[in-house]
Every structure is written in C-alpha cells, then in structure tokens.
A and B are shown apart, each in its own frame.
Chain A
C-alpha cells in the first residue's frame, strides 16, 4: 500500500526558533499534500493544501508567514514553523493523494510529528 513518511516523529525546540517537518510519499507521486494540526482529543484541522510547483493554499485563520509550506517535488512537502511559540505545540500530520485520482481518492497519512515548544 501507499506509504507516507514524516520526519522527525518528535521534536522539542526553544521558543523563537524554527522547525522544519518533512513529509514524503515513498511509493507514489503526490501532486497534492495536506497539512493538518491535531490538538489532544480533537479532530484534524486542515491547515493548508500543498500543490507541487505552486504556492500552498492556506485555510482561513492559518498564518502563511508562520507556517511555511514548500512542495518542491512530487514526493516531498515541508512545513516550517517559524519563530515557534509554546502555543504552536501540537501534533502535525501530513497526508497525500495519489497522482491523477478522482473524488474517490484515498488519503494516505503520515505517522505525525509531535512538536513541543519550550
């Protein structure tokens, strides 16, 4: 089956620093990747949609200058949390859709990255 990896799985950083999270589709090409944020015991909140070779589309209320997304290839998207603050601590999950699929596409999810900002 399709596999999506994320790196790192856990990261602890100091307030004010930046953190980069990588999302890779390992055995398929993904024109589109999605970045979610999940608070404890809550559902996934879509942050942005990342399209290969173009600018990401951010959901309302998500600061694009704080959460930088780059989708440089069909298998890699990165999320950089800039000038992180403790309130950015969360579980970040990426997902990808297979190239050329229709509305019935399945989303393949990465294992998530636990970010803790101290």
Chain B
C-alpha cells in the first residue's frame, strides 16, 4: 500500500534560518510526490511535485524538496524562513494501487516561524 509519513507534528524555526519539514514515503513502483501548504481556514495550495528527473525540485515561495530514493524521503526545505511561512504542510503521494487516481496525504506538520 502507498503511504507517506510526516514524523514531526510541529517544527519551530527562527526567521532567517533554514527550515526542513520531513516526509518519508512507501510506494510500489515509481513515486509521484507532492507538497501542499494550508493556511488557517483555507484549502490546500500546491507547492511542488516530483514525478521524474532532477532530485531537487524547486517550487513556489522559495521552497524546494529533495527526492532521495535510497532513503525514501522527500523533505521540504527553504534556505531562509519567513514568519509568513507559518502554516500547515502536507506531504502527499499518488495512490498507484488505485490507478494513480487518488492522493494520499500525510498527517501534516505545523511550521512555526518566530520573528
């Protein structure tokens, strides 16, 4: 079965410092991986995705993610955090067991960036 795990419920970082939000995955076949961000009382916004190609994927708002096949990880990163980055972040994988039609979301990681 396809799954994603976000081991941290919460990540705290000071503004200007680099941030990492962790995600590991378990899939059969090639992984289709995504990161989304959710602000309070809002729907999810797409940040970036990995389908194939370069392991380092660049996305919106200065975020990037590194696909690591040997470690089955897809950690989200940003070199310099902003207070406005504080939000809920979801890692997701396409559910290939059901034909790649549905998306499975991780539990989410809440990011707090302190000024």
Contact = CB atoms under 8 A, between A and B. Distances in A.
A103 B45 contact: no
Interface string B94-115: 1010001111011110100000
A4 B42 CA distance: 12
Nearest to A59: B102
B45 A49 contact: no
Nearest to B48: A106
Contacts of B103: 34, 46, 107
Contacts, number: 54
Given A93-B43, A112-B42, A112-B43, A103 B94 contact: yes
A67 interface: no
A108 B45 CA distance: 7
B43 A111 contact: yes
Contacts of B44: 44, 93, 95, 107, 109
Interface string B29-61: 000101010000111111001010000000000
28 contacts: A4-B43, A6-B43, A42-B108, A43-B90, A43-B105, A43-B106, A49-B101, A49-B102, A91-B41, A93-B43, A95-B44, A102-B100, A103-B32, A103-B51, A103-B94, A103-B100, A104-B49, A104-B51, A106-B46, A106-B49, A108-B46, A109-B43, A109-B44, A109-B45, A110-B43, A111-B43, A112-B41, A112-B43
A-B pairs with lowest CB-CB distance, top 7: A109-B43, A103-B100, A109-B44, A104-B51, A111-B43, A43-B105, A43-B107
Interface of A: 4, 6, 32, 34, 41-44, 46, 49, 91, 93, 95, 102-104, 106-112, 114
Interface of B: 32, 34, 36, 41-46, 49, 51, 90, 94, 96, 100-103, 105-108, 110
